[in-house]
Structures are given as C-alpha cells and as structure tokens.
Amino acid sequence: MRVALGLLTLLAVAPARAAEAPEVAQACLACHGEALAEGAPPIAGHSSNYIQLQLVFFRAGRRKNEIMQGVAEGLSDNDIRALGKYFASLPVPDAKPPADTRAELTRTGEATAARHRCAACHGDAYLGIQAAPRVARLPEAYLAKALTDYRAGTRPSSGGAAMTEVAGALSDADITALAHYLAVLP
C-alpha cells in the first residue's frame, strides 16, 4: 500500500511529457514540424479537441483545403484521436513575433479586435480558451486566410458557429489589420 501511494505521488508530480508520437504523425511533421511548409500553421499545443475537430472537418470536406483533405481522407477515427492527443501534448512553439514594421496597422488591428470582442473568446493574450484556439503569433497569411474562409463559408466553425458569425461582419481591411495584429503580438 505504501509503495502504491508513493508511486501515485511520483506520477502526480512528474512533469507533463509529450505522448509518444504515433506512426501516423510522422507524415505530418514534414509540414507541421519545426519548419512549417508554406500555408501550414503550427499545430503543436492546440487542444486535442480542436485538432480532432479540424481533421474531421477536413475529412468530411466541410473545411476546404486540397492538401489537408487529401491527408485526412486516409485517417481512421482512431488515427484522429491519437493525432489529437499527440499534438496537444507538445509544447506551444515559443516563436518570437516577427519585427513589426507596420505599427499603424497593428493599432488598427488592436482597435478592430476590441470592437469585435475577439479576446472574450480567445483570451486576453489570445492563447485560447476551451473551443477557441490560440491565435497569437500564428503566421499572418494563415490568419488572414482563416478569417476569409470563415466569412466565405469554406470553413465551418465549432462553438455554435462562433467564427462564422464573427467573420461575417469583417471587411477585407478588418481582416488585414486583425491578421497583422495577432501575428506580431508580443
């Protein structure tokens, strides 16, 4: 009994470790590893639920992207669960924000984000809360594309269609400013 309790304590204080990479994750790292392929966002450290949901959306063709629809087509439900668990167990990449050469656009983006209350769902530091993922310091072009896709309906939104509604009210100029602001967040 003593031994068992000791072991439990040990498990409780052991630092969280990355889950072992499932075989099926190897192919992902070519685009979502330390170096990102063009257009590919980092996925490490997103919640398992968010990752799984996006893979299901791609597999069903509801989130349109030629590359990811092709990738997701071959994944079973078990693969998707394992991938969600694995990538969620990895630390969020601590990317330094790119140098901000457009301070005025940043201020416009900040004001636009305040007007649309983006932080209410994504958190004050934009690191994500529940269904709303981390959006801080994602690649600027990816952020702009994501918002444009929600607005165009080529990407569905979880969270009671939260993003479809939010993005519907954004102009092209709003999207440009928001993507820049989030990409260069300190």
Which parts of this chain interact with ligand HEC (CB under 6 A)?
24, 27-28, 30-32, 37, 39-41, 43, 51, 53-55, 65, 67-68, 71, 83, 113, 116-118, 120-122, 131-133, 135, 138, 143, 145-147, 157-159, 162-163, 166, 178
Say if residue 102 is exposed, middle or buried (CB neighbours under 10 Å; 0-12, 13-18, 19+). middle
State the minimum distance, in angstroms, from the CB of residue 73 to ligand HEC.
11
The answer to whether 111 and 30 have CB atoms below 8 angstroms apart is: no
Residue 26 C-alpha from the chain's centroid: 19
For residues 9 and 67, which CB has a smaller minimum distance to ligand HEC in the complex? Answer: 67
Residue 61 C-alpha from the chain's centroid: 19
State the minimum distance, in angstroms, from the CB of residue 21 to ligand HEC.
11
State the minimum distance, in angstroms, from the CB of residue 57 to ligand HEC.
7
For residues 6 and 74, which CB has a smaller minimum distance to ligand HEC in the complex? Answer: 74
For residues 7 and 165, which CB has a smaller minimum distance to ligand HEC in the complex? Answer: 165
183 CB neighbour count, 10 Å cutoff: 23
State the minimum distance, in angstroms, from the CB of residue 186 to ligand HEC.
17
Helix (H) or strand (E) holding 77: helix 77-89
For residues 6 and 153, which CB has a smaller minimum distance to ligand HEC in the complex? Answer: 153
Helix (H) or strand (E) holding 148: helix 140-152
